[in-house]
Each structure stands twice: as structure tokens, then as C-alpha cells.
Amino acid sequence: MWKHIVRKEDTVVDATCGNGHDTLAMVKLVVDESNRGCVYGMDIQNIAVENTSLLLDALLNPNERKLVKLFNACHSRMEDIVPKCTSVRLVAFNLGYLPGGDKAVITLSETTLPALEAASGILAPGGLISVIVYVGHPGGMKELETVQAFASGLPVDDWVCSKFEMINRQMAPLLVILFKK
């Protein structure tokens, strides 16, 4: 879905870097010879930012690596990190806990909601917010409710909000997509 939306030289945001796999994929989507694309990555856990940085250092060339700006910060602080008037094409959330990390440290509705509000504000028309919600851990269902409540309240004239879920595998992660017209 990202490939249908993101173009070379775009600015995009990985709101929850985790181990950096999405950040890496985003760089590949925005990079071209001009080196004008930009990826803002953030994570509240320092170990996640370090893991992301290591992954990018290993798999990107120096010009690609320069396109990424990493921040050890909560995704609810997105508006402080992304410069004002930046036209953002994609904001991606991967909620839950850090794979391989401390499962007691999870994203919480209290910060996910302001982060979604911030994302909806900085997103350019024609842009996308994608949210993966893991419902198989404690707190996951509450987070899904938060994301759904936010999405269902966005005006239908300006947003297409949809949910994609597996129905023959219990507790499978869900994808929520918020497209700004």
C-alpha cells in the first residue's frame, strides 16, 4: 500500500522505529539520485533507536543513510520533531512492544491518541497513515479501540478510513489505514 502512495523525494515518518525494518523500507521508497527524500524515525526506547541505526548503517549507502533522522522520543512528540510546514506523505505506526525487547514496555493509548492527532495534522492531502495493531498482548484491544475511535471520527469528506483484519486466525494483527483525500 505504501508503494501506491509514496513517491521519490517524499518526506515520511516512522512513528515507531522498533528494530528499523520499516524505516529501512521507507528509505528505499523515497530515495533517488537527488537525495531529497527524508525519513523521520522515532522511538521512545533508546535500544530501538540504536537497533534501527545499526540496521541502517549496515544496509544503506552513505547517501541513503543521510536521508534518515532518528530521534529517541515518544511518537506523541511528532510535531516537535518534524519541522512545521513539512508536507508528509506517510506516517507509519507499529503499535505494541519491541520485537525481542521488553514486552512490559508497550505503546499506550494515552500517547497513541495524541500521536495519531499529530500525524493527521502534518499529513499532506493524498497521504496515508498506516497503523498495525497487535491485539494479542495485554492492552492491545484497548489500543485498537483507541485507533478505531479516532479513525471513525475523521470526516468522511476528507478521509477514507478502513480496517483490514484476518478472520480465521485469532489475535492476528490488524491494519488500519487512514487516507487523507
Minimum distance, C-beta of residue 171 to its own copies, in the bound complex (Å): 12
Q: Cα–Cα distances in Å, from 87 out to 58, 78, 148?
A: 29, 13, 25
Give me 106's grid cell.
508497550
Which residue do the cell numbers 510546514 mark? 85
Question: Which 28-67 residues touch its own copies, going by CB under 8 A?
Answer: none
Q: Which stretch binds its own copies (CB under 8 A): 94-102, 104-112, 121-129, 145-153?
A: 145-153
Based on the shown chain and the rule CB under 8 A, indicate whether residue 148 belongs to the binding site for its own copies.
yes
Minimum distance, C-beta of residue 27 to its own copies, in the bound complex (Å): 26
Using the rule CB under 8 A, which residue among 80, 99, 141, 164 binds its own copies?
164
Q: Which stretch binds its own copies (CB under 8 A): 53-61, 110-118, 129-137, 158-166?
A: 158-166
- With both helix axes pointing from N to C terminus, report the angle between 140-152 and 109-122 in degrees, rounded to the nearest 10: 30
DSSP secondary structure code for residue 90 in this structure: E
Which residue do the cell numbers 478472520 mark? 167
Integer Cα distance of 108 and 166 in angstroms: 23
Based on the shown chain and the rule CB under 8 A, indicate whether residue 176 belongs to the binding site for its own copies.
yes
Based on the shown chain and the rule CB under 8 A, indicate whether residue 144 belongs to the binding site for its own copies.
no
Minimum distance, C-beta of residue 80 to its own copies, in the bound complex (Å): 28
Integer Cα distance of 49 and 64 in angstroms: 17
Based on the shown chain and the rule CB under 8 A, indicate whether residue 162 belongs to the binding site for its own copies.
yes
Q: Report, in angstroms and rounded to the nearest whole number, the Rg of the chain calculated over CA atoms.
A: 16
Say if CB 43 and CB 19 are below 8 A apart: no
Based on the shown chain and the rule CB under 8 A, indicate whether residue 155 belongs to the binding site for its own copies.
yes
Using the rule CB under 8 A, which residue among 167, 171, 180, 181 binds its own copies?
167
- Of the pair 5, 154, the CB lying nearest its own copies is at 154
Based on the shown chain and the rule CB under 8 A, indicate whether residue 156 belongs to the binding site for its own copies.
yes
Say if CB 150 and CB 139 are below 8 A apart: no
What are the residues binding its own copies (CB under 8 A)?
A: 148, 151-156, 159-169, 176
